[in-house]
Amino acid sequence: MSQTLTLDTLLAAARKASRALAGADRDAGLRAMAAGLERDAERVLAANAEDVRAARAGGMPAPQLDRLTLAPERLRAIAAACEEVAALPDPLGRVQGGWTLAAGPRVTRVTVPFGVIAMVYESRPNVTVDAAALALKAGSAAVLRGSASALRSNRALVASLRRSLAEAGLPHDAVQLVDSPDRELVTELLRANGKVDLVIPRGGAGLIRHVVANATVPVIETGVGNCHVYVDAGADPETARRIVLNAKVQRPGVCNAAETLLVHEAEAPSLLPRLAAELRAAGVELRGCERTRALVPEALPATESDWETEFLDLVLAVRVVPSLDAALEHIDRYGTRHSEAIVTRSLHSAERFRREVDAAAVFVNASTRFNDGFEFGFGAEIGISTQKLHARGPMGLEALVTYKYVVDGSGEVRA
């Protein structure tokens, strides 16, 4: 059997299963998934240990190894997340609006499932369960393609999820694993128009670029965040200090962490030396423009590529700018439209920043780290969209459903 045929079969089964979901007790399925993960913990952890062993032998770097590793408490947290998703309100069947046409028929716009949602992601096996749970809650089948390095873990997880679904009386084909390291299958998946309604990539910049460049099915682009904090003239130095440290240091490996600090020249001499000392004490390597280095001699010289880079690490590029305009220009040129913050006391600067910065979330006197589905109160997050189509910023369940128009008439026709 050719690979295409295999994928076609898998997608047809996913489509069929998705049909049965809208009317099924999806929350019971989610609770069964949670219980099943506890029941199957030993099997899952053993499979994961094999993945970790192979990855370590293959020389996988430590941060990736950490992301790949499932400990018992991590698995419990993953199961608990399924319970939390079960407890969220149903995103389906919500009437978003309605009106009566001039000709008579009544229109209702109501939320409905996408149908089949594909996720393409990297080594974290928790994404396997998160994505399946959120898709199920949203009434869609999940087609999952993780990395080859996590294949044994994902097999064990998906086997557990499917068994739980079946036991709860739901179609187990609502969760499908593309169970092959063959990269051609990803390309097939990304081009399965009519069979896949939506694909969401989650992972590094390379993965996301690959998906965006190759998909012909609708995509929600997530993730890459080259985020800035701009400290305006007259800003409160303590607020600036707190926000810059939080945005850079609290969790540097995530997309809503700050990568570049822009400081108005009026504040740079008083702010930068002290703030640099604190950042360095927190382990942050600084890469500064010439004016920064005149104030902070220990900073390395920043190159053009430093302004462009999402370090995802304890590295911060620092630039002194002559004006708010220069800051806005810098953000426009190098930013990835993800999360951008200003620290200011000026109403005028705040308003210009809010209005002129083109980003999913614009922060005035608050940390970029708040750009997150849980912080936003969505109770779940499938990723942070950096595109403008459909969903922007943190995506909760609302981003995982679509709508249809229901038109009820009494025999009306168009004149």
Distance of closest approach, residue 143 Cβ to a second copy, in angstroms? 15
- Which of 119, 152, 363, 373 binds a second copy (CB under 8 A)? It is 363
**Closer residue to a second copy in complex, CB, 58/411:** 411
Using the rule CB under 8 A, is 402 a contact of a second copy?
yes
Distance of closest approach, residue 88 Cβ to a second copy, in angstroms? 16
List the one residue out of 200, 217, 147, 201 whose CA is nearest residue 178: 147
| Residue list 84-103, contact with a second copy (CB under 8 A) | 99, 101-103
Using the rule CB under 8 A, is 278 a contact of a second copy?
no
- Which of 82, 138, 165, 220 binds a second copy (CB under 8 A)? It is 220
Using the rule CB under 8 A, is 393 a contact of a second copy?
yes
CB 175 within 8 A of CB 193: no
| Main-chain dihedrals φ then ψ at residue 328, nearest 5 degrees | -60, -40
| Residue list 106-135, contact with a second copy (CB under 8 A) | 107, 112, 114-115
| Three-state DSSP state, 150 | helix
- Residue partners of 260: CB distance under 8 A and separation at least 6: 226, 227, 228, 229, 306, 307, 316, 317, 318, 319, 330, 334
Using the rule CB under 8 A, is 236 a contact of a second copy?
yes
Convert residues 175-194 into a mask of x (bound to a second copy by CB under 8 A) and - (unbound).
------------------x-
- Chain-centroid distance, C-alpha 236: 32
Residues paired with residue 360 on neighbouring β-strands, in sequence order: none
**Closer residue to a second copy in complex, CB, 66/329:** 329
User: What is the distance in angstroms between the CA of the first residue and the CA of the last residue of the chain?
Assistant: 53
Using the rule CB under 8 A, is 298 a contact of a second copy?
no
Convert residues 243-262 into a mask of x (bound to a second copy by CB under 8 A) and - (unbound).
x-xxx--x------------
Cα–Cα dist 173/185, whole Å: 18
Distance of closest approach, residue 249 Cβ to a second copy, in angstroms? 10
**Closer residue to a second copy in complex, CB, 43/404:** 404
Count of residues engaged in binding a second copy, rule: CB under 8 A: 74
| Residue list 27-56, contact with a second copy (CB under 8 A) | none
b/e 255-290 (16+ beta carbons within 10 angstroms → b): bbbbbbbbbbebbbeebbeebbeebbeeebebbbbe
In eight-state DSSP terms, residue 193 is: B
